[in-house]
Amino acid sequence: MRLIFPLHLRRMCSHKHSHPLTFTYHNIESGFHVGLNTIHPAKFRKHVQYIAKINQSQDRRKHISIAFDDGYESVYTNAFPIMEEYNLKGIVFPISGYIGKTNDWDITFGVNRTMHLTESQLKTLSKHGWEIGSHSHLHRSFRWIKSEEIKDEVVTSKRIIESIIGKKITSFCLPFGDYTIKAVEIIENAKYINLFMQLPLLKRVPTISNIQFQYYRSIYSTDSVKSLENKYQKINREHLKESFIHSFSTATVLVKEML
């Protein structure tokens, strides 16, 4: 069946990462964790050193931005002080319903219990020049819930986070990278300007005129500095590996729905 999009949805995004390029991390922590989303602080420091060197360029289009999905407390305790050493600022996407709480929205395998950023920590990051965005209220996939629920996820998170930091937030990161046309419309109507999602491998994503899709590259525990260089140079095999790892998030959503 052929889908016909309204006229304002027919402009399509090309498969190019945004400028400046954004590398997105999750948890920056030592210790044992199941999965690939946790990076040891020592490895993260090497990544930051590489990024800081790249960002010495006078051409800001060649810079690399650093973002953090989910808003784990380790962003404040481990990533923040390292980035301060190199005068780098980040953008963090907290889940408003889990501020100051542990991540029971996720499948933790009984060992991945992780604390999220507190209100005080979010305020401190904001005061130090970090951008605070939103990653929804309860981190539910927008592909599996009703429009009214999507609206509640988007609007509630914006209201809560803005009340904490005392600033307007304009960037939204899609939970699990899942979207629908209706979800994009709802996000635009909530006055977000930037919509972050992982760079698609094959799909072309329709956009709405006032929303800027910001395609990021995901960074996992398997990524060395060389991997980052390859992502920066747009080496295809890195994009393939990245997309393969990201595909497991779909399985995570399905398992969570069944529990």
pTM (two decimals): 0.87
Q: Using 50, 70 and 90 to split pLDDT, how confident is the model at 247? A: confident
Are 242 and 217 within 8 A, CB to CB? Answer: yes
CA distances from 104 to 90, 139, 185, 201 (A): 25, 10, 29, 30
pLDDT of the residue at 32: 75
How far apart (Å, rounded) are the C-alpha atoms in residues 153 and 132?
16
**Phi and psi of 62, rounded to 5°?**
-95, 0
Domains recognised in the chain with CATH numbers: 7-258 (3.20.20.370)
Tell me the pLDDT tens digit for each residue of 41-82.
999 999 999 999 999 999 999 999 999 999 999 999 999 999
How far apart (Å, rounded) are the C-alpha atoms in residues 230 and 5?
36
User: Tokens in use for 232?
Assistant: 């920066």
User: Tokens in use for 237?
Assistant: 């095999």
Which residues, listed in sequence order, are joined to residue 116 by a DSSP beta bridge? 72
In this predicted structure, the answer to whether residue 16 has a pLDDT above a threshold of 90 is no
